[in-house]
Amino acid sequence: MNDSRLTPRKMQILKAIVDAHIAGGEPVGSKYLSQDDNISCSPATIRNEMAELEEMGYLLQPHTSAGRVPSELAYRYYVDALVRQYSDTRAEIDEINETLRYKLTEMDEILAEVSRLASSFTDYTGIAFKPGIGKVRIVQFKSVLLSGRDFILVMTFEGDIVKTKTVHLPFTLSEDTLRRFTEALNIYLVNLPSDSITMPTIMKLEAIMGSAGAIVHPTVKAIYETMNELDTADVKLEGITKLLQYPEYSDISDFRNLLGMLEEKEKFLDVISRETSEDNDIHVYIGTEDQSDAMRNTALIFKKVNIGGKQLAVGVIGPKRMNYSKVIEMLNGLATGIDKMFSESLLPPGHDEY
């Protein structure tokens, strides 16, 4: 339903009347509405607007009191407006998810390129690995106002992991508004995994913030991005078929077993994730040292790379008789190059968040 006679002020007053009548069941008068902080006009103006809404069929006066109640037409408008709000919010959630997919695609591209380089330089199978933490939860939010339209969101996760995001807003923000919003985040989003931050929760935050509700969308997007960065583990492999040139893999059943393990990402991630040390040394697993029979003719070598607190790993898979000296030299050089690329901001725009 779209009535061109309904000005923004009339829509605001009508919505306030319907909300108040739903809550209390009594006729709503101009004096009550004048106490609503979201309605910035005088009682006389409110009375005039209510009279016009009554003439238009949106309000009824049940008796001689000054109060009004919504008509069926008003309820129809109210429901249609809520449906539009639902649709708009759904679109925002889709936009958030699309942004996340885009960000993860960027990381996919980084991992794919690193694994391709490792394979190309060694003539073995190249791997690149990004660990995940699991279903992370934020235990505390803090915020720091940078300027009128920018603030830093500080997120403390379980395990004392602290991440920050700079949030840019389309409007000027006050210290008091940011304080109220941070308190709301600590009430409604603390200890929730990302898949539990639902649209009703987001809509509730928008309602709490009232006229400053536009702060919610960019902030939730920043929260989703950060949680998914920590949540998601991934591994990229390049040049698997290069292993077929080595006699160790001439037995097709042995090669099939190895390929099966590599294709079952969870098992392969488990092999790499067992090494939990924080150093950046070269790590080597030879044959069945990794407790996997599928690797009995195979060696896995990888090196971790720290990038702004985020840890990746780059490595190769090849026969046990691989050229260890060449591989280790290459991995050290490649890791140094990756570190330099990130530290000197040589990545395309958008990659620097990783």
Q: So what's the pLDDT on residue 77? A: 79
Residues 253, 221 share a domain: no
Q: So what's the pLDDT on residue 328? A: 85
Residues 279, 345 share a domain: yes
Residues 305, 202 share a domain: no
Residues 252, 121 share a domain: yes
Q: What is the CATH number of the domain that holds 20?
A: 1.10.10.10
> What's the pTM?
0.47
Q: Where is the domain boundary, 82, 97, 120?
A: 82
Residues 343, 238 share a domain: yes
Q: So what's the pLDDT on residue 271? A: 62
The answer to whether the CB of 304 falls within 8 A of the CB of 313 is: yes
- Average pLDDT of the residues of the chain: 78
Residues 345, 238 share a domain: yes
Residues 240, 344 share a domain: yes
User: Is the per-residue pLDDT at 103 higher than 90?
Assistant: no
Q: So what's the pLDDT on residue 182? A: 95
Residues 116, 22 share a domain: no
| Domain enclosing residue 293, as ranges | 109-131+233-353
Report the DSSP beta bridge partners of residue 286.
Answer: 299
Q: So what's the pLDDT on residue 190? A: 93
Please give the Cα distance from 13 to 49 (Å, whole number).
8
Please give the Cα distance from 118 to 239 (Å, whole number).
9
Q: Measuring CA to CA, which residue among 104, 178, 114 is closest to residue 148?
A: 178
The answer to whether the CB of 287 falls within 8 A of the CB of 298 is: yes
> What is the number of structural domains in the chain?
3
Assess if residue 88 is contained within a domain.
no
Please give the Cα distance from 176 to 167 (Å, whole number).
17
The answer to whether the CB of 162 falls within 8 A of the CB of 156 is: yes
pLDDT tens-digit series, residues 20-60: 887 777 888 888 888 887 787 888 888 899 989 999 998 98
Assess if residue 54 is contained within a domain.
yes
Residues 266, 123 share a domain: yes
Q: So what's the pLDDT on residue 220? A: 92
Find the angle CA(130)-CA(134)-CA(138) to the nearest 5 degrees.
110
pLDDT tens-digit series, residues 241-262: 898 888 888 888 878 888 887 7
Assess if residue 155 is contained within a domain.
yes
Q: What is the CATH number of the domain that holds 213?
A: 3.30.390
The answer to whether the CB of 316 falls within 8 A of the CB of 272 is: no
Residues 252, 181 share a domain: no
Q: Put the strands of the sheet holding 125-130 in their side by side order.
A: 234-238, 125-130, 310-319, 298-307, 282-286
pLDDT tens-digit series, residues 250-305: 888 878 888 887 777 666 666 666 654 555 678 887 776 655 677 778 888 888 87
Q: How far apart are the first and last CA of the chain?
A: 45
Residues 240, 222 share a domain: no
Higher pLDDT, 105 or 145: 145
Element (H, E) at 235: strand 234-238
Residues 263, 125 share a domain: yes
Assess if residue 161 is contained within a domain.
yes
Please give the Cα distance from 161 to 166 (Å, whole number).
17
